[in-house]
Amino acid sequence: MSARDMSRGQSPGHVRFGPRHGASIGLVKVEATEIEGRKVYSVRGFNNGVARWLNKLPTLWIEGEVTELRRQERWASVFFTLKDPEDGATLPVQMPRGQFDALDLGLDEGERVHVFGRAELYEQRGELRLKALTIERFGLGAHLATLERLKRKLAGEGLFAADRKRALPRYPRLIGLVTGNDAAAKRDVLTHIVQRFPPANILVAETYVQGPRAPVSIATAIGDLCRRGADVIVLARGGGSFEDLLPFSDERVVRAVADCAVPIVSAVGHEQDTPLCDLAADLRASTPTAAARLVVPDIAELRAQVARARDGLHRGAHRATERHGQRLAAMHERLRRAPLLALERRRARLDTVHARLGALSPVATLERGYAIVRRGDAVVRAADQVTAGDEIAIRVADGSFGARVE
């Protein structure tokens, strides 16, 4: 459309565009109507003037996140909003559908892109937008390389070393939960912790989990929870795209996790790439639910354990006294028999001695016709022991008699 087409035969005039108090940066001719000495422009004329002025702006690359992507077969153009990840400023973007489809990018919400385009005015509504000439997906490769470098650097410092991993407390006094403020992850963790272990104390720190403010916010929350007495911390985030989870690979967050004064569980749901905070945490859980299972014991299981232990105690005590009783009874039985046994042994020894005594007795010799001769108490063994007239006693097998030596 040219200025001439829009002139409606009215006298030409000028509209000045640019900063109100600044220098003029350009003039565009638009027809104005003269009414009572005042130049008046139609909306259409005004918009057209702006549009033409905008057309003079250079074509350039703009980086942002794709949001509100709208594409329909019956539309000539595809629309989306480019969002500044730093402060959320937005810019509507339009691209002819044929060109957009030809790029075959398969863009998702939140993806970071570089758009090559220039400003244009949607004249019908006086809306500024970016006319995209081409779109390039940006960041994934660059981010991955940066992440890999960071991972190697932190690994080199030993932040991920196995011997740094600490065991979680068996019965946590205070559980610190770091999570986004509206996150389903928060509800999941809380619900499962309380279900498993109703007496659990939980302190929740709500943080940004996405965007440029997330890393500092998360790192600060971890330190705060430690200071407020948490003895275990859960860092929870429901699943998200690679870029959503970038804060969990941010060096500040990874260091905060590694330096955390108490054991920390990373429960950042992810599908492929492991966020670096997972490597620095003492334990990682695949889901917020799994994290709950890690930090608190199952109270039903605990009750069963205590009951089993008590049964065991009773049985053990019973068995121990029973064994002592059996041993004592056996000892008593031996004690009862021991004196008789001892007596019998004595008697046996006595009998042996008696038998030996019998073997030494002279009776058998006497029975063969020998005699024992005594004078007084002495046995006479030689002839010169006696003289004539001595009284002697003679012992034979069946008795004794006296005699006189001649």
Partner 1 sequence: MTFEEAQAELEQIVARLERGEVGVDELTKLWERGEELYRICAAKLEGVQGKIEELARSTQTDEN
Q: Report the C-alpha gap between 279 and 151 in whole angstroms.
A: 9
Tell me the β-bridge partners of 65: 83, 112
Nearest to 281 by CA among 292, 300, 295, 267: 267
Question: Which residue, 286 or 352, is less far from partner 1 as judged by CB?
Answer: 352
What dihedral angle (degrees, nearest 10) is formed by the CA atoms of 25, 27, 33, 36? Answer: 50
Question: Which residue, 27 or 342, is less far from partner 1 as judged by CB?
Answer: 342
Q: How many helices and strands, by DSSP H and E, does the chain display?
A: 11, 18
One of 1, 102, 343, 396 touching partner 1 (CB under 8 A): 343
Using CB under 8 A, count the residues that bind partner 1.
Answer: 20
Residue 319 near partner 1 by CB under 8 A: no
Q: Report the C-alpha gap between 153 and 147 in whole angstroms.
A: 10
One of 227, 310, 354, 404 touching partner 1 (CB under 8 A): 310
Q: Report the C-alpha gap between 58 and 51 in whole angstroms.
A: 13
The stretch among 196-204, 255-263, 284-292, 335-343 that binds partner 1 (CB under 8 A) is: 335-343
Q: CB 353 → partner 1: shortest distance, Å?
A: 14
Residue 306 near partner 1 by CB under 8 A: no
Helix axes 288-295, 184-196, angle to 10 degrees: 30
Residue ranges in 345-374 that form contacts with partner 1 under rule CB under 8 A? 345-346
CA distance from start to end of the chain: 191
Question: Which residue, 149 or 308, is less far from partner 1 as judged by CB?
Answer: 308
Q: CB 352 → partner 1: shortest distance, Å?
A: 14
Residue 314 near partner 1 by CB under 8 A: yes
Residue 12 near partner 1 by CB under 8 A: no
Residue numbers of the site for partner 1 (CB under 8 A)? 310, 314, 317-318, 321, 324-325, 327-328, 331-332, 334-335, 338-339, 341-343, 345-346
